[in-house]
């Protein structure tokens, strides 16, 4: 019944092909970022790292990085908190409007993001708020907080309610149960939700486009440069933004592996 050996090899090859397809454009961007020519044309004749030097020295780029970093950090913290409680209501407790609530959480994810950004712009205008990068935080959260909720909910589903009940039977208050049992058990989910939140906010473009006002995030600046003509800094800054994401993911993996090993050693 299961695929033959040839079939299995075919499927592995297909998987690798899809991965290659997903990464091919980034390879082009990578090559473009080290091309000497001011107007890019393949094959590349002369390689240089000068654009990286220019990008790192540029004040515009460091301003963009700083704004994107602030937005992503605040979005991460708030969506971890909203998502933690949201996930308990989503998966753990059986309450009256749970089904309806689950659907409300899904709707912003099933929604065209550029339209959501415009709707928020009109809403801010109607209540008299001038858009700056602060309002972009709200826009990002409308999309990212539900995603964080879902990620933590997956963890909350596999959680044994008897553990909380035991804590309560032994005399813990609701707050103590939360602190001593629920939070530690859901922590891995909360951390991966935080990682997702940061990275999704860092790379988001359609929500930022209408909600940052005069400020610009990194993806917005890249887009503006892309449509207004080629600049050698576009691939370079793009690569820097990708590199920042990769560093964050690698650090997160390393930390999680070290903590598991540390815990195993201490229990032995």
Task: Report the C-alpha gap between 145 and 82 in whole angstroms.
Answer: 7
Task: Report the C-alpha gap between 110 and 156 in whole angstroms.
Answer: 22
What is the closest distance, in whole angstroms, from the C-beta atom of residue 54 to other proteins in the complex? Answer: 18
Partners of 35 in beta bridges = 47
Q: Does 31 bind other proteins (CB under 8 A)?
A: yes
What is the closest distance, in whole angstroms, from the C-beta atom of residue 104 to other proteins in the complex? Answer: 6
Place of tokens 């928020």: 120
266 token code pair? 């201490």
Q: How many CB atoms lie within 10 A of CB 31?
A: 15
Q: Does 23 bind other proteins (CB under 8 A)?
A: yes
| Pick from 63, 71, 69, 214: nearest CA to 130 | 214
User: Element (H or E) spanning 91, and its range?
Assistant: none
Q: Does 103 bind other proteins (CB under 8 A)?
A: yes
What is the closest distance, in whole angstroms, from the C-beta atom of residue 88 to other proteins in the complex? Answer: 4
With beta carbons less than 8 A apart as the criterion, state whether 215 and 132 touch: yes
Q: Does 144 bind other proteins (CB under 8 A)?
A: no
Q: How many residues bind other proteins (CB under 8 A)?
A: 101
205 token code pair? 């473009």
Q: Does 228 bind other proteins (CB under 8 A)?
A: no
Where do runs of H (alpha helix) occur along the chain?
Answer: 5-33, 50-57, 59-87, 98-106, 113-127, 133-157, 161-169, 174-177, 183-203, 206-211, 218-227, 233-267
Q: Does 130 bind other proteins (CB under 8 A)?
A: no
Of the candidate spans 23-31, 49-57, 59-67, 260-268, the one that interacts with other proteins by CB under 8 A turns out to be 23-31
**Closer to other proteins at the Cβ: 246 or 265?**
246
What is the closest distance, in whole angstroms, from the C-beta atom of residue 79 to other proteins in the complex? Answer: 9
What is the closest distance, in whole angstroms, from the C-beta atom of residue 11 to other proteins in the complex? Answer: 4
Of the candidate spans 53-61, 118-126, 183-191, 254-262, the one that interacts with other proteins by CB under 8 A turns out to be 118-126
**Closer to other proteins at the Cβ: 65 or 88?**
88
**Closer to other proteins at the Cβ: 14 or 262?**
14
What is the closest distance, in whole angstroms, from the C-beta atom of residue 57 to other proteins in the complex? Answer: 21
């Amino acid at each position: 019944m299961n695929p033959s050996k040839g079939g299995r090899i075919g499927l592995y090859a297909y998987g690798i092909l899809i991965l290659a397809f997903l990464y091919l454009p980034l390879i082009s961007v990578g090559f473009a970022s080290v091309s000497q020519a001011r107007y890019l044309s393949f094959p590349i004749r002369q390689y240089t790292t000068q654009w990286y030097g220019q990008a790192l020295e540029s004040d515009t780029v460091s301003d963009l990085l700083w704004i994107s970093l602030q937005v992503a950090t605040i979005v991460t913290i708030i969506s971890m908190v909203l998502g933690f409680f949201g996930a308990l209501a989503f998966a753990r407790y059986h309450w009256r409007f749970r089904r309806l609530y689950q659907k409300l959480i899904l709707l912003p994810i099933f929604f065209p993001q550029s339209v959501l950004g415009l709707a928020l712009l009109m809403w801010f205008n109607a209540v008299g708020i001038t858009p700056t990068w602060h309002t972009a935080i709200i826009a990002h959260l409308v999309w990212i907080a539900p995603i964080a909720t879902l990620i933590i909910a997956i963890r909350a589903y596999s959680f044994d309610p008897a553990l909380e009940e035991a804590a309560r039977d032994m005399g813990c208050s609701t707050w103590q149960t939360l602190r001593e049992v629920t939070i530690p058990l859901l922590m891995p989910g909360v951390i991966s939700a935080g990682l997702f939140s940061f990275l999704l906010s860092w790379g988001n473009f359609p929500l930022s486009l209408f909600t940052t006002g005069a400020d610009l995030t990194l993806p917005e600046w890249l887009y503006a440069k892309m449509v207004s003509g080629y600049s050698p800094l576009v691939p370079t800054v793009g690569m820097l933004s990708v590199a920042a994401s990769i560093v964050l993911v690698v650090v997160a993996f390393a930390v999680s592996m070290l903590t598991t090993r540390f815990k195993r050693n201490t229990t032995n």
